[in-house]
Amino acid sequence: MNPILKNILAVVAGLILGSIVNMSIVMISGAVIPPPEGADVTTMEGLKATMHLFEPKHFLMPFLAHALGTLVGALVAGLIASDSLKMAMVVGVFFLIGGSLTAYQLSSPLWFVMVDLVLAYLPMGYLGGRFAIGRVR
């Protein structure tokens, strides 16, 4: 297969599967750590309006969703791609852009934004790529 096409397919597959992992964790997060009393977590507007009610424990599951979604997406891309690490990092960058936009829209606490953006995306993209290289080679 053409390496460019293979890399594009790898990134698309990584983004789709990483997003599925991310959303699956987000969907079960309320069962693991219930949202604060009175918080509407079903819409972006509801989250924005009730963000002040959230305690640090409420940010654990979103962080795990972002980190594990990126890790899985990068691993998938790395396993498929011709250039494993580079394409895994491309997936990490895409998730970083999405995470940055979401953090901006929600006006999340600065400490969470910093932890999330610094630890959840590029490091997990790199780790996923390194895991893929270990499996492929």
40: in domain: no
66: in domain: yes
Q: Residue 61's closest CA among 99, 88, 32?
A: 32
Distance CA 65, CA 73 (A): 12
100: in domain: yes
pLDDT at 43: 86
Average pLDDT over residues 56-69: 96
pLDDT at 48: 86
Q: pTM score, two decimals?
A: 0.92
86: in domain: yes
pLDDT at 1: 85
- What range does the domain containing 80 cover? 3-33+45-136
**Which two tokens mark 132?**
């893929």
39: in domain: no
- How many domains in the chain? 1
pLDDT at 23: 97
Angle of helix 110-119 relative to helix 60-80, nearest 10 degrees, comes to 20
38: in domain: no
pLDDT at 136: 58
What mean pLDDT, rounded, does the chain reach? 94
What are the C-alpha distances in Å from 30 to residues 24, 27, 40, 52, 114? 11, 7, 11, 17, 23
Read off the pLDDT of residues 46-60 as tens digits, 9 standing for 90 and up.
Answer: 888 888 889 999 999
Residue 111 host element (H or E): helix 110-119
83: in domain: yes
pLDDT confidence tier of residue 38, bands split at 50, 70 and 90: confident
Read off the pLDDT of residues 73-109 as tens digits, 9 standing for 90 and up.
Answer: 999 999 999 999 999 999 999 999 999 999 888 888 9
Q: Residue 63's closest CA among 17, 16, 118?
A: 118
Listed in sequence order, the residues at least 6 apart from 108 whose beta carbon sits closer than 8 Å to its beta carbon are 51, 59, 116
